[in-house]
A and B are shown apart, each in its own frame.
Chain A
Amino acid sequence: MPIFAAAGPLWRTIDQPVAIKGLVAMAGLLLIAWELWWFLGRHGGGVAARESAAGWQEITITVDGGYAPSRIQVKAGRPLRLSFHRIDPSGCVAQVIFPDFLKTLDLPLDATTSLELPATEAGVYPFHCGMNMVRGVLEVVD
């Protein structure tokens, strides 16, 4: 196939009944709306970290295509331990980066790696994989 295929006889126009055209247009619009809601809408609040004895907040995050959970809610003013369990072999998620804390964490495959963060002020702190494609958010609330 050439780089720019000229419109040949194979690319003929077909008269479709108006009903079909309407149906395709409706379906397309619905699909767009649903897709935008699915990917960009807010889906539930963050998962709260549990509290351990020594005042630490702890949570385990499974790395498999994405971060599960990807929205984590913690309390301000208390140290936090995030444990990443990576089961996804893709090299893309082999690193997780917390830009606001200047931390990069290497995640070996099929292992759990922990990151300890000091007590933090309230705010929203995103984190992401080495290529910035897989993303999560740390919500620190008062």
Chain B
Amino acid sequence: MSSSSPSPSCCHAAEGSAGLADGMERELARERTLLRRKVSVAAVLTGLVVLSSLPHMLGGGHHSFLPPWFTSPWTQLILTTPVLFWCGRDFFTGAISAFRQHSADMNTLVAAGTGIAWLTSLFTTLFPQVLVAEGLPADVYYETAAVILTLVLLGRLLEARARGQTSEAIRRLLQLQPPTARVLRDGQPVEIPVSRVVVGDLVQVRPGDKIPVDGEVIEGSSWVEESMLTGEPTAVSKGVGDAVIGASINRNGSFSFRVNRVGGDTVLAQIVDLVRQAQSSRTQVQRLADQVVGWFVPVVIALAIAAFVVWFLVSGNAVLAMLFLVSVLVIACPCALGLATPTSIMVASGKGAENGLIFRSAEALETAGKVRTIVLDKTGTLTRGQPQVTDFERLPGGALPADTLLALTAAIESRSEHPLAEALVAYSLSHRKEGELPGVEGFEAVAGRGVQGSIAGQRVRVGTPRWFEELGMNVAALKPLVERLEAAACSVAVVVVDGRLEGCFGVADPLKPSSAAAVAALRRLGLQVVMLSGDARRTAEVVAAQVGIERVIAQVRPADKALVVKRLQEQGEGPVAMVGDGINDAPALAQADVGIAMGTGTDVAIAASDITLISGNLAGVPASIELSRAAMANIRQNLVFAFAYNVAGIPLAAGLLFPLTGWLLSPMIAGAAMAFSSVSVVSNALRLRTFRPARLPLPIR
């Protein structure tokens, strides 16, 4: 699949990658079957070789129960050769083609180690008199070659199985999409493959159905389960005009929706793409490991040759020196080093996706765990971002009935473009009786003050208390009320008709229910939490106190948010994470060490962010920090293990301890150790699958 720019053919990208994933899946399954067969054949033959070599290993005298032909070196040669060159064929072909490319890898080490043991034994089998003349027993080491190869092959099988599980998250995501959709064609519902659904189609969804693609509800209503995409545990209510996302599950209602995104444009396909992207990237730690791996194998080969030379010089015994050479070759495990980070990243980013946390790259995952200061934007992040009227009071001295007052407010504010106007109109319309709104003449918006106009001969003004003070009105009666509202972080709008104070609205941007719990969770993680707001200091402080934030930076214009983040970084409070809604906060998100965007559930691809929280739930912020910390701890364990393993294993295999303790590491044990080092690294990474973000307590309402 190419990384093509949007083109008609890429509309089926999701299906395409699913198809490709299936193909790769089949190929891997085939490989595993063949590997299993090879491991069984190798195990049987190796068992026989070991049995055949028992008398020699036990030092002779016990071989009366085995016929002499069975313990002959020639029998061992016949049994071992297919183990090496059929079961282990891939090691040799791989080593040869790598060699031609001037590269050396694990195949090189295994092929060289077992090949040398086999060749030496072949030489002894053909010309035993050469060794006898030297005063050495004409021993063969076929069982060593066979056992090493079988163990490494077994290790590879276990590793293939475990690695299959690391990409499970993506596979599960791809399987979420149902294969067919119920589409209205010529007014009749027809069941068609999802790949043939086009933008503009009408899709019917029945109770219990999976929603096939993205779209907007045009008829009916229901509750929809989106947890598999957003990580939100509760079902979401959907009615006309609401967006639905493909792969979510409809509960008990029925509805129809108009398709607006298919194929590679759907939220599901974008999530899959982002997760794959993160899994292709690498961390800073990994860059270091990569450099080591590149040098590793040639250096190990050099050490093995050096071990041979030194032992030959010391003992003059070529067979002994050869055993050291083989041990050094097979104990070194570059695979464990190479696998240490990517497997953890694979599992962690998959786990993130399951919980609605999308990491853009491995580096985002790496940095998020180190964050010390977290900056939360107020509007849209801590709050819903949609102001609502929280208080409406008629003032003493007012002459108009409430219903008339609301009608006047709705009429005049519906002409205004102020952010608070929408809240006033929505409230007024829903709290008054049905009926036409009166017409407005001479409408005028006074910047920073309010609006005014004439309705049925009455002069109507809606605006801030300060405006009316400036106009010379006596607003003393308002004072207590205004103070109370402002203490609750409300903006105050006063309605004045023909110079009479008639009513007063308190408008506030309500907090999201999870905000306070999320802030508490962040503080428990030891982070310094800072709130950023464009509001006046007093309002901002009230909101901050409600969610438990002590440090507030208020009166910040949108354009200055990035500067604030930069200043925090310069003051040495970094790494800094910035949480925002992703659109107007883009520069601040990009400036922060980690930009976390609150998704809306339908728009995943938020450009500037390192982490996207699909559900828009603030609980995802502590969850992603926890996941990142868990993943980095896991990577560190893997790297420490892989390095320590090689650092300890190679000198032991080279016989450094022999002069002190008389210990020799049997080459077969070296082979077993190599095989299981990779398996243990992958298994450790798989432990991350048990990661569960701490569920935040929901506030009691």
Contact = CB atoms under 8 A, between A and B. Distances in A.
Interface of A: 1-8, 10-16, 21, 24-25, 28-29, 31-32, 35-36, 38-41, 43, 64-68, 70, 88-92, 94, 97-99, 101-106, 108-109, 113-117, 126, 128, 130-135
A91 B27 contact: yes
Contacts of A40: 295, 298
B668 A1 contact: yes
Contacts of B335: 131, 133
Contact of A133 (B23, B106, B298, B658): B106
B31 A4 contact: no
Contact of A65 (B3, B94, B361): B94
A137 B105 CA distance: 16
Given A1-B666, A132-B293, A102 B361 contact: yes
Given A91-B31, A104-B280, A115-B2, 6 more contacts: A28-B308, A32-B305, A35-B305, A94-B24, A98-B280, A126-B290
A21 B342 contact: no
Given A14-B134, A39-B102, A132-B290, A102 B281 contact: yes
A28 B309 contact: yes
B525 interface: no
A32 B101 contact: no
B3 A66 contact: no
B27 A15 contact: no
21 contacts: A11-B317, A12-B317, A14-B134, A16-B316, A65-B94, A65-B96, A65-B97, A65-B100, A66-B100, A66-B103, A89-B90, A102-B277, A103-B277, A104-B277, A106-B1, A106-B21, A116-B4, A132-B290, A132-B338, A133-B105, A133-B335
Contact of A10 (B96, B137, B314): B137
Chain B interface residue bracket vs A: 35 or more
A117 B338 CA distance: 25
B135 interface: yes
B38 to A, nearest CB: 13
Contact of A21 (B28, B316, B317): B316
Nearest to A13: B315
B98 interface: yes
A14 B1 contact: no
Contacts of B665: 3-4
Nearest to B309: A28
Contacts of A133: 105-106, 293, 334-335, 338
B376 interface: no
Contact of B103 (A2, A28, A39): A39
B666 A3 contact: yes
B519 interface: no
Given A64-B97, A65-B97, A102-B361, A13 B103 contact: no
Interface string B15-59: 000001101100110010000000000000000000000000101
B101 A70 contact: yes
- Residue among B90, B93, B103, B668 with the most chain A CB within 10 A? B103
Contacts of B224: none
Interface of B: 1-4, 20-21, 23-24, 27-28, 31, 57, 59, 90, 93-98, 100-107, 134-137, 139, 160, 276-282, 290, 293-295, 297-298, 301-302, 305-306, 308-309, 312-317, 320, 334-335, 338-339, 342, 361, 658, 662-666, 668-669
A25 B27 contact: no
A99 B280 contact: yes
B280 A103 contact: yes
A38 B102 contact: yes
Contacts of B28: 91, 94
B27 A28 contact: no
Contacts of B313: 21, 24-25
Given A4-B664, A64-B97, A131-B338, A32 B320 contact: no
Contacts of B23: 106, 108
Given A24-B309, A116-B4, A99 B302 contact: no
A70 B312 contact: no
B302 A35 contact: yes
Given A94-B28, A99-B282, A32 B302 contact: yes
A7 B662 contact: yes
A114 B3 CA distance: 9
A16 B302 CA distance: 23
Nearest to B96: A65
A68 B294 CA distance: 17
A106 B24 contact: yes
A24 B356 CA distance: 62
Contacts of B106: 133
A4 B666 contact: yes
A10 B293 CA distance: 37
Nearest to B106: A133
A102 B23 CA distance: 22
Contacts of B338: 131-133
B101 A116 contact: no
Nearest to B273: A102
B94 A90 contact: yes
Contacts of B342: 130-132
- Residue among B4, B104, B105 with the most chain A CB within 10 A? B105
Nearest to A95: B24
Given A14-B317, A32-B306, A114 B668 contact: no
A14 B315 contact: yes
Nearest to A108: B23
- Residue among A1, A14, A25 with the most chain B CB within 10 A? A1
B19 to A, nearest CB: 11
A21 to B, nearest CB: 6
A116 B2 contact: yes
B276 A2 contact: no
Given A5-B664, A7-B658, A134-B103, A31 B305 contact: yes
B383 to A, nearest CB: 33
Contacts of A31: 305
Contacts of B96: 65
A2 B666 contact: yes
